[in-house]
Every structure is written in structure tokens, then in C-alpha cells.
Amino acid sequence: MTSTESSEQPLGHRNRADAERKVPNMCSAIQSVALVRRFGDLTAVDGVDLDVATGEIYGFLGPNGAGKSTMMRMLCTLLAPTSGQATVAGFDVVDDPGAVRLRIGVALQDAALDPRQTGAELLRLQGLLYGLSRREANRRVGELGELIDLVDALDRPISTYSGGMKRRLDLVAALVHNPRILFLDEPTTGLDPVSRARVWEEVRRLNADLRMTIFLTTQYLEEADTLADRVGIIDAGRIVAEGTPAELKRSIGTDVIIIRVEGDAADVCQAVERVQGVLSVEARGSELVVSTTDGSATVSPVAVALSACEVRVRDLTLRTPTLDDVFLELTGSRIQHDETEEVGS
């Protein structure tokens, strides 16, 4: 079954008819305009505008309480907006929630897994709920088990799974019907490094092979930097910056090369200043601080210039701005994520 065929499988004939009465605008996978969600006096999401392109991995970055999960729940039709508008896969999340749900997969922070079911039973049931035939559902169980390296465990009760196995099972449960758009709410929180790397690899594969649009919330800076084509940074319910990870990092400063030499660093300042790409050089005793537009391209020429001066370099370090630096610049604080216990693979 192709991705298009399975994503069009109805929950019922009426849902399909309702969906086909409207022709969605598929220029963007996810759009929101002035989206707001209030809980009493608390404004969790405060006028958010989003435009996520089809086939894009969009990272939604922010600390706990910033509004990430509330935003995702509105886009997934699990929570109604207080005001504003949002469309997912071309359908309005308020007017056409059934059409949205047929075209998305969702893996939330807290996996809703029945410990008494086997992994295969869970995936099979998910497929049947999305309108797959029993034969199609059984085929998808086999495919998905291989996808996450759980084939040998699918016939065991979920209660016997490790935390990492449960997280991977929850991920593929969201893929049974080959959704157009996949929502992942902090998918690697609490996972050990090996399990986290497996999830990252799978996210990349889904995006590359199936051109699946992926909306990813995270508090892990490395995760957003590694996976996302673009990043939106949310703080106190508002988007404070948006762009590619490289654009965001360039927006707050330059790359810096820090060099410690034998002797007085001021003696070689002029030689380093003449290197192409160097913006400024500052000597601090035996240390040189070199600002540059492109650190990785400038490191070698700087080293060559120092060698020509016959100066001995004790160490050389390239430091580029991080997304944490971006967040600090924009909000005045660093992202602090919960120190939860890591769970195995």
C-alpha cells in the first residue's frame, strides 16, 4: 500500500465524504495564524504564527512550560484553540478535526500503551482503527517491527519492554497508517544515548524516504540542531525566533578561534589579522581571540600564518555559537530540562 492510499483510509464513510467536500491547500503542511490558548488567567500560547512546509522537519524548541505541548495538542485536534486559526494537511483543526486525524500520526510524551497487550496486538489494533484490512494490518505489523528492530519482541506483553522499547513502539504505532505528517512531542526525553540515536536515525529516514513532514518538540538543543531543517524558539507562549539552526546561530555572533601560544600573543596579531575571513584579533597575554565569519574555513589559514611566524601553538580551539547561546541572547536564560532517569534500549 502506498503512503497516499493508506493515509486516505477512512474511519467511516461519512468521514471520507466530509473530507472530500473540501479541497485542502497543500502548499503548507501546517499553518497557524494568531493562535491562542488560555487556561483561565494563564495564556499558554499567545498569538503564534507558523508555516511549516510539506516535507520539512520543524523543531519546536523551548523549556518546560513555554507552550510547546499546548501548541502541539491544538495542532493535533486534542485541544481547542481559544482564538486564532490553524490548518494541518490543509484542513482546519476546528472545522475538520476528523480529516486532520486521518492524515497525521502522533507520539506524545506519555505513551498510552496497554501493558497487557503484546506489541503486535497494539499495532494491529491501531491499523484496524484507521481502516486497514486485517491482511494489511498484519503486513504493517511485520514491516514496523523490522523498522524499529523489535520483531523478536512483538509477541511479548508490553509490560516486559524496557523504556526505550516502549518509546520506539509508540513511535511506530503512530506510523501504521503512513501519515502525511508526524507529530513527535519530546520523543527522546529520558532515553539513553543509544536509544536516542536510534530515534534520530528513524526520524531522518522517514523524512528522507517518505518525504514525511515532521513536527518535533524538544528541550534538547542538540536534537533540534541535528534534526531540524528549521527551528522555532518559543518562550512564555510566544515565538521569539525562527530560522535554520545555522541562521539562528549566526544571528547572535561570529565564530571564535581561541589560540594559546608560547610567548606574547601580541607579537603575532598582525599576521593573523591579514588572514582572509578574520574580522578581529585580540591578544590577552599568551592568548589570541580571533573572530571570524566562518571558523571551520579559517582555522587552517590561521594555523599556517602562525607557523610562518615560527610561533609555537600550545592549543587551538574553535567555538561556534550554539542554540543555547541563541536562547540565552533572546530570553536571558538557558534551557534547563528535567534530569529524568534515562531508560534503556
pLDDT of residue 337: 57
pLDDT digit string, tens, across residues 286-312: 998 898 888 889 999 999 999 898 888
Name every residue whose Cβ is closer than 8 Å to that of residue 196 and which is 6 or more positions away in sequence.
Answer: 188, 223
pLDDT at 184 over 80: yes
Name every residue whose Cβ is closer than 8 Å to that of residue 94 and which is 6 or more positions away in sequence.
Answer: 80, 81, 85, 86
pLDDT at 160 over 80: yes
pLDDT at 9 over 50: no
C-alpha cell at 224: 533540534
Residue 7: inside a domain: yes
pLDDT of residue 60: 94
- The amino acid at residue 131 is G
Q: Are residues 204 and 270 in the same domain?
A: no
Residue 119: inside a domain: no
* Among 288, 343, 344, CA closest to 318: 288
pLDDT of residue 26: 54
Residue 195: inside a domain: yes
pLDDT at 20 over 60: no
Integer Cα distance of 317 and 320 in angstroms: 10
pLDDT digit string, tens, across residues 73-122: 999 999 999 999 999 999 999 999 999 999 999 998 777 789 999 999 99
pLDDT of residue 336: 61
* Among 280, 277, 271, 282, CA closest to 305: 271
Q: Are residues 94 and 194 in the same domain?
A: yes
Q: Could you tell me which residues are beta bridge partners of residue 282? A: 289
pLDDT of residue 219: 80
**Domain housing 303:** 254-320
pLDDT at 344 over 80: no
Q: Are residues 235 and 301 in the same domain?
A: no
Burial of 208 (C-beta count, 10 Å sphere; 0-12/13-18/19+): exposed
Q: Are residues 229 and 266 in the same domain?
A: no
DSSP letter, residue 288: E
pLDDT digit string, tens, across residues 233-287: 999 999 999 999 988 988 877 888 999 999 898 989 999 999 998 988 988 899 9
For the beta carbon of residue 125, count every other beta carbon within 10 angstroms. 15
Q: Are residues 36 and 88 in the same domain?
A: yes
Is the Cα dihedral 130, 136, 142, 148 positive or negative? negative
Q: Are residues 316 and 276 in the same domain?
A: yes
Q: Are residues 235 and 293 in the same domain?
A: no
Integer Cα distance of 47 and 90 in angstroms: 20
Residue 238: inside a domain: yes
Q: Could you tell me which residues are beta bridge partners of residue 255? A: 292
* CB 192, CB 344: distance < 8 Å: yes
Q: Are residues 198 and 303 in the same domain?
A: no
pLDDT at 341 over 80: no
pLDDT at 55 over 90: yes
In the sheet where 42-53 sits, what is the strand order? 42-53, 28-39, 83-88, 91-92
Helices (H), the chain: 3-7, 13-20, 68-75, 97-102, 119-129, 134-147, 163-173, 193-210, 221-227, 245-251, 269-273, 295-308, 323-331
C-alpha cell at 304: 599556517
Q: Are residues 7 and 54 in the same domain?
A: yes
pLDDT of residue 101: 94
Name every residue whose Cβ is closer than 8 Å to that of residue 26 and which is 6 or more positions away in sequence.
Answer: 54, 89, 90
Q: Are residues 207 and 242 in the same domain?
A: yes
Residue 297: inside a domain: yes
* CB 263, CB 313: distance < 8 Å: no
> Mind giving me the DSSP string for 67-116?
SHHHHHHHHTTSS--SEEEEEETTEETTT-HHHHHHTEEEE-SS----TT
CA angle 124, 105, 63 (to 5 degrees): 130
Indicate the number of domains in the chain. Answer: 2
Tell me the mean pLDDT in the region 325-339: 70
Q: Are residues 183 and 312 in the same domain?
A: no
Q: Are residues 313 and 184 in the same domain?
A: no
Q: Could you tell me which residues are beta bridge partners of residue 243? A: 231
Residue 51 is part of a domain; what is its CATH number?
A: 3.40.50.300
